[in-house]
Amino acid sequence: MKEGCEGAEWNEVAFTDESRICLQHHDGRIRVWRHHGERMLNSCVMRSHTGHAPGFTVWGRIGYHSRTPLVRIAGALNSQRYISEVLEPVVLPYLQGLATAIFQQDNARPHVARIVQRFFVNHQIELLPWPAHSPDLSPIENIWSMVAQRLTQITPPAATPDHL
């Protein structure tokens, strides 16, 4: 493989990413026109949950010939959790089974942490260069919209005023 992946074959790239899947169908905001003096009338007020939207974070990998199962991340993703829940149990076994592979990830903080970079060096994992502030053109981004769309088809809608 050429230095810097200039000669990389796209079928050797393991595209990876994580995404927070929100279980609400929309942003929860409802816009209402009110007349002067109606602001606090019960008929103009909708009580709703304004805290953190229900959901979860998943990580996945797709390649030219295969994909990994989605990995549910317990809590917020940090560098240690990235190593222990994704890289060691999923990525290493996958990459060890290939003759050549290039690992792609974006520049999220857990990905660029020194401990993670040392992990890649220690395990001789070749990384696809990913410039800072570049548009996220990884094909796995399309997967997240498909997953979210399928989840909204099977997830019951958020509570409405009639159900509170």
* Sole residue written with tokens 């230095």: 3
Of the candidates 13, 8, 5, 32, the one whose C-alpha atom is nearest the C-alpha of residue 140 is 13
How far apart (Å, rounded) are the C-alpha atoms in residues 5 and 102? 8
The pTM score is 0.70
What is the per-residue pLDDT for 7? 53
What is the per-residue pLDDT for 51? 58
What is the per-residue pLDDT for 24? 62
pLDDT in tens, 87-125: 999 999 999 888 889 999 998 999 999 999 999 999 999
pLDDT in tens, 67-85: 888 899 988 899 999 999 9
How far apart (Å, rounded) are the C-alpha atoms in residues 125 and 102? 7
Q: Which tokens belong to 33?
A: 């026109």
Beta strands 71-73 and 102-104, pairing class: unpaired
How far apart (Å, rounded) are the C-alpha atoms in residues 118 and 26? 40
pLDDT in tens, 45-72: 665 555 566 778 899 999 988 888 889 9
What is the per-residue pLDDT for 39? 66
Of the candidates 92, 134, 87, 88, the one whose C-alpha atom is nearest the C-alpha of residue 111 is 87
- 133 against 106, higher pLDDT: 106
